[in-house]
Amino acid sequence: MFLLTLVVVGCALTTSLALPFLDVRDTQPTSTVDLGYSRYQGTLLNSGISQYLGMRYASAPLGQNRFRAPQPPQNTNTTQIAQAFKPICLGTNAGLPSSQSEDCLFVNVWAPSAATPASKLPVWVFIQGGGYVSNSNANFNGSTVVDKSGHSIVFVNFNYRVGAFGFLSSEKVRENGDLNVGLLDQRMLLHWVQQHIAQFGGDPDHVVIHGVSAGGGSIALQLTAYGGRDDGLFVGAIGESPFFPTQPQVSELEWQFDRYLNATGCSYTYGGSADETLGCLRSQSTATLQAANVASPYPGQVASPLFYFTPSIDGDFIRDYPYNLFDQGRFVHIPVMFGDDTNEGASFAANAATPNDLAVFFKNNYPQLTSADTDSINAEYPLMATLPNHAAYFPSASAAYGETTFTCPGIFMSLALAQYNDPYHVWNYRYNVLDAHNVAGGIGVPHTFELPAVFGLGNTNNNPASSYSTYNAEIIPVVMQYWISFVKELSPNPYKDPSAPRWESMGAGAGSSLRRLVLQTNATAIEIIPNDQLERCLFWKSLAVRMEQ
């Protein structure tokens, strides 16, 4: 058992769908890449980078492929044009926007145009976030990180199923389909990389997976997949703001499945076989299924959770709660970088005016918590200094939700990897870049605020804060080069920006101090994780099983 107590003694989930700017001033096609099942023609960017957008990595998950593990892509006889992003996957509470589709399993690749299969370049695979209910970091432009690497890496991003299409859970789904198919989509993509990335100049033996928010949570779930089985799919991992929502047992979600059946007109199959029930769902139109892809409160709660469809413990891909798996060392042992933003909870917490408001918010999102548990949470997070534009207990709710859902999972995964693998190949960080607009709004340094610094301005699907173009501009090369260095060398230091300090590894052990890097403009430095924060993380660990984390 991993004794975390010894150490103490000693998540955009954004929902913007705007597409990032792409440098396509020169649209001369590159050489066609032949993947066996299809040939794709990409675009040569002015920067000497080849861009391939909207390639299939799996068959369309329609009809009989609904609620099943992804299937291999079908063969095509004509050259496919890979010069525009394809639709992202349908999200919960999203309606049917033109930018989303049930047919959404597409991958994008950026690679140096001069690369060949003999180049064997390190590969960066980005898993987007969205709380498992949306693709909220979709269609990022990877050309800048490839360029800033000196044309020495290949960058990959992709869509995976979310919401009801990705995480519908029931014993009937298990019997006549597959559970957690959104995670199986991710796994399929990683196998696709193994099979095809050499055609873009990438090295299948040097793949680093990177995720943010639910993508960071997905990093945890890929590390612990099948009880921590190492399938040789990746050699390093980066988890930004790793997201640990409630992840129930399948049996606990039958009410959710029944509600979905009723909303899709398939309620007549309640007493029928799994074949009949799933057959009805597969016969429905996308519009009918998407109309039912909406949130509702957990039984006995008063408001819908922030994230309604989440992964479930299926006994196969996910064999236990993530905290338990990391506690037991059941994960792939590789170098990692994990970290968070200083005010992770500010984007999500209820604007609580009273301790009861805080308690209700937590029960809505972690429904197994008891009144005694929420009393303990209020005791751990008493009334704090007020913040602009917010009620009295918002700071407490924000701090509590941020630590339990994002910050403490990242710290404990780092500790587990340090304990079971190698403390000198674990790096932890806290992103603390202050923006005047955010501070004035009372949200501090919010969830995923670092993304423009990781990928560069104009490359994400949100407009970056104006401070990244002015007084926070100097943090961008610092952050980007740490990430690029880790992708290339499994360490953030060999190719760090010359102005940046050496990023010391976390370290671990009884009586030791745990280090992390504080990323802040012109003041990046190592700090010791405060003991009071570690104590609060131990408090959350004591509740983790009840919270189903």
pLDDT tens digits along 9-58: 343 333 333 344 444 444 455 678 999 999 999 999 999 999 999 999 99
Distance of CA 131 to the CA centre of its chain: 8
Query: How do residues 226-263 score in pLDDT, each as one tens digit?
Result: 999 999 999 999 999 999 999 999 999 999 999 999 99
Query: How do residues 170-218 score in pLDDT, each as one tens digit?
Result: 999 999 999 999 999 999 999 999 999 999 999 999 999 999 999 999 9
Separation between Cα atoms, residue 139 and residue 276, nearest integer Å = 37
Separation between Cα atoms, residue 313 and residue 221, nearest integer Å = 11
Radius of gyration in angstroms for the set of CA atoms belonging to the chain, rounded to a whole number: 22
Q: Which residues pair with 212 in a beta bridge?
A: 240
Verify whether residue 513 is a known catalytic residue.
no
Residue 282: pLDDT band (50, 70, 90) is very high
CATH code, 5-265+279-543: 3.40.50.1820
Q: Which residues pair with 33 in a beta bridge?
A: 40
Q: Three-state DSSP class for 430?
A: strand
Residue 508 confidence (pLDDT) = 53
| Whole-model pTM over 0.85 | yes
Q: Three-state DSSP class for 10?
A: coil
Single out the residue of 258, 246, 298 nearest to residue 173, CA to CA.
258
Whether 3 shows a pLDDT value over 60: the answer reads no
Q: What angle in degrees, to the nearest 10, is found between the helix axes of 531-543 and 408-420? A: 90
245 exposure class (CB count in 10 Å sphere: 0-12, 13-18, 19+)? buried
Whether 156 shows a pLDDT value over 60: the answer reads yes
Whether 510 shows a pLDDT value over 60: the answer reads no
Q: Is 165 left (phi over 0), alpha (psi -120 to 50) or beta?
A: alpha
Single out the residue of 522, 514, 426 nearest to residue 474, CA to CA.
522
Q: Which member of 50, 213, 312, 347 is catalytic?
A: 213
Distances 305 to 214, 294, 302, 308, 391 between C-alpha atoms, Å: 15, 11, 9, 6, 20
Mean pLDDT value across residues 377-398: 98
Residue 8 confidence (pLDDT) = 38
